[in-house]
Amino acid sequence: MAKDSAARYKDLPLKMVGGTHFGRYSKISNEQTFNMIISDGFNVPFAGYQMKIPIDQNGEGRAIASSTLQNKMFAVINSSFYSINSSLGAQQGIGMLATSAVDNCFISENNARTILVSDTEFLYTYNTTTNVLAQIPGIKSVIKNPGYITFQNGRFIVPDLSTNLWYISNLNGTPVGGVNPVTFQATSQFQGALQTKPDTCQACVRFPGKGNLLLVMGNIVTEQWQDVGAQLFPYQRTAYSNIDYGCLNPASIDQNEDIVCWVAGNEKSGSFIAYSDGGSIKRISNDGIDFKLANLTDPTNVYGYLFRQDGHLIYAAVWPGDNLSYAYDFNTSEFVTLSSEKMGAYIAKDVVYFNGKYYFVSIIDGNIYEMGSNLYTYDYGNGNVAEIPRIRIPPPIRLPDQSRFITGYMGFTIEQGQFSYDYRDTRSLLSDEIGDPITTQGDQPYLVPIGGNNYSSNGARQYIGNGYNFRTNVPRVDLALSKDGAVNFGSNVSINMRPEGKRQNRLMWWRLGGSNDLTPQFRFWGLDRFVMTDGIAGIYQ
């Protein structure tokens, strides 16, 4: 671009900071953010993870819970129950569940340090005094299919997935010979019922921050109950309100601070992501995501969990059968798309906070992983490290009259020069249609990697997601353009990131051609962090 022609250009905003706001159809918008969240006006990395406790490479995680009383984690991998101490040693051989990894599993604890486990077929107790996992005798004669477990005011609370009934246990057990048994009885003193609609009970959820409030959830309705301390049965249903939606899968329910979040639905509505503050229900999924959820092959095959990343309260929902994952940030009210390194479903199934860090069991193996914002890769152990796909697709660039324009340049501010890496590379010049080299703003040629795998910050192997064409030798950013309503994207134009100490703060692409509906797609390749903010696109007519 000649300097004397710069005045012809008009700068339009390039929205690099944002979440996932795609429309029902790509022509509306294909705006999406993969594996990044918003912080102080910048997009920053979503949490990476690393394998921390190897248990069963060929297994599958079912549930994980942490105990403040015992300073331990408890996990179910396949049919095995594990107790994990503060040094992250997994104690094996505690006991086996009767069901396989295809069934949901839930874990809770009472004040007597008894762990209760539900596998939707039986209830099991584990006590550190005896170090034995055992089925509660005769439980099938009371609760045919026990589901999601919660603990409130000294009692375990368990729904029967096959009926509209839910049950409370005895108060923290009755000490007998140093053991605190947990019992349930099919009597009015220990039994409640979901009453508002004909439904089956799916979960009973202690509401955080609301004292004695209990949500009793079915497939299509949710009731609010209060522990009023009555002598016969302590709970009383709120008569003046209910939530007219239930949950598609109790494994999608989680609670934190003063909200409960889950994947909801009822007999007149498709699935959507919702939360409650104890009163009404609030829908948080947008039009594009609701449309996507309405077309899932199996919307009930879903897991969900709440956690905090650097102060941001985040709810993640994963549909493994449909290779789909979204995270909602309550701090910014923004969705982002999560993925594995191969653009499949995010692998975390159930997350807990333990000794200052987050840990999860996964949908792909029977190992336990640590996750955190200081982890910039997916590390599966044994040198098997995957590059996280970080992608930003800004909203389309259009003029109000839909007239054609020329995009002379496009760029944004980004952090560079923070990390040391091997800059050796085999590269080729990128040329325009008449053979002249395409140059950067500083009249330097674009250099495009064409092979090699010399990027070696930790000597690890790298994975590349489906649909992307070459390994990265150095951190880089790829730009691909769509000029047909985000249906097809052209070839990538790449810019390598600056090495350590060279902190130029923006990337610019030039001579991007004509269009009347332009959607850029940026992909960020590398094993370290990427931090970027909004930019500009210069156009003229």
Strand order in the sheet with 132-135: 106-109, 114-118, 123-127, 132-135
pLDDT value at position 102? 74
- Residue tagged 């501010």 (tokens): 413
Question: How far apart are the C-alpha atoms of 447 and 440, rounded to whole Å?
Answer: 10
Check if the beta carbon of residue 531 is closer than 8 Å to that of residue 44. Answer: yes
pLDDT value at position 180? 58
Secondary structure class of 250 (helix, strand, coil): helix
Question: How far apart are the C-alpha atoms of 19 and 457, rounded to whole Å?
Answer: 29
pLDDT value at position 468? 34
Question: How far apart are the C-alpha atoms of 361 and 159, rounded to whole Å?
Answer: 24
pLDDT value at position 63? 94
pLDDT value at position 158? 96
φ/ψ region of 323 (left if φ > 0, alpha if ψ in -120 to 50, else beta) reads: left
Question: How far apart are the C-alpha atoms of 96 and 79, rounded to whole Å?
Answer: 5
- Write the DSSP symbol of residue 491: -
**Could you tell me which residues come within 8 angstroms of residue 293 by beta carbon, excluding any fewer than 6 positions away?**
270, 271, 272, 273, 285, 299
Question: How far apart are the C-alpha atoms of 274 and 263, rounded to whole Å?
Answer: 6
pLDDT value at position 66? 95
Provide DSSP, 138-163. Answer: TGGGT-SSB---EEETTEEEEEBTTS
Provide DSSP, 3-26. Answer: GGGGGG-EEEEE--S------SST
pTM beyond cutoff 0.75: yes
pLDDT value at position 61? 93
pLDDT value at position 464? 35
* Nearest in space to 478 (alpha carbons), one of 461, 460, 459, 465: 465
In terms of C-beta distances under 8 Å and separation of at least 24 residues, what long-range contacts does 484-487 make, across chains too? 484/517, 485/26, 485/27, 485/396, 485/517, 485/519, 486/26, 486/27, 486/29, 486/30, 486/393, 486/396, 486/519, 487/26
Low-confidence ranges of the chain (pLDDT < 50): 1-4, 176, 423-435, 437-438, 440, 442-472
Phi, psi of 258 (to 5 degrees): -130, 30
Check if the beta carbon of residue 396 is closer than 8 Å to that of residue 29. Answer: yes
Check if the beta carbon of residue 293 is closer than 8 Å to that of residue 301. Answer: no
Phi, psi of 139 (to 5 degrees): -65, -30
pLDDT value at position 107? 95
pLDDT value at position 179? 53
pLDDT value at position 329? 95
Check if the beta carbon of residue 96 is closer than 8 Å to that of residue 144. Answer: no
Check if the beta carbon of residue 512 is closer than 8 Å to that of residue 24. Answer: no
**Could you tell me which residues come within 8 angstroms of residue 91 by beta carbon, excluding any fewer than 6 positions away?**
82, 83, 84, 85
